[in-house]
Amino acid sequence: MPSLPKKLRVVPAVIMLSLVLTRSFCQVATEVNRRSLPTIGSVFRTFATSSPKCGEASDNGSVVTYSQLKTMLRVGDIQLFDVRNPDEYQAGHIPKAVNIPLVNLEESLKLSPELFKQQFAVEAPGKGDDNIVLHCKSGNRGSKAMEIAHRLGFSKVKHYKGGYSDWVEQEKRMPDGNMLHEAKTTT
């Protein structure tokens, strides 16, 4: 059997590259990532970041809404970490949020439980805890923080996608407005 011309041997490589760059492949890669293969998923995500829909498949089960966050805060079943910079946190924050800037998150999550408690005055989150919620101002840093936490083994961590900006907007709509005032004055 004669060998294929060189041009026909290149075609499968071009087709494969096209698949890597498609939105559907990104969603499949994100699903693989969710199933405990973060290294492979991260590599695929890197090639497919041009698609604005790329991260949407990973939102299922990992995003906390405003109403879910309010319930978790009311019940007290939450470990809420604000990954914004300290000056942003001081200007206003969600009640009960602990400030761990994104640049310090990885090293902070690697601390021993004793050192974590000493540094942040709260119990250290456990890798199997399902009540860990990360947030930032609008969702970008919170999403990056969630990726860092997943990479470190915190597989059930979630993030409040709307961030502090959404919190403030939602609180303005609340009839009593108490939480908004508390968010600005709580230290």
What is the distance between the alpha carbons of residues 187 and 59, in angstroms, rounded to a whole number? Answer: 30
- Residues with a catalytic annotation lie at 136
Count of CA atoms in the C-beta half-sphere (13 A) of 82? 24
Whether the CB-CB separation of 23 and 51 falls below 8 Å is answered with yes
d(CA 89, CA 85): 6
| 138 class by beta-carbon count within 10 Å (0-12 exposed, 13-18 middle, 19+ buried) | middle
pLDDT tens across the length of the chain (187 residues): 556 565 555 555 555 545 444 544 445 444 444 444 444 444 344 333 333 333 333 455 799 999 999 999 999 999 999 999 999 999 999 999 999 999 999 999 999 999 999 999 999 999 999 999 999 999 899 999 999 999 999 999 999 999 999 999 999 987 655 544 444 444 4
Q: Quick check: pTM over 0.75? A: no
Cβ atoms within 10 A of the Cβ of 40, count? Answer: 11
pLDDT, tens digit (0-9, with 9 covering 90-100), for 71-115: 999 999 999 999 999 999 999 999 999 999 999 999 999 999 999
CA pair distance 105, 139, nearest whole angstrom = 16
CA 102 to chain centre: 11
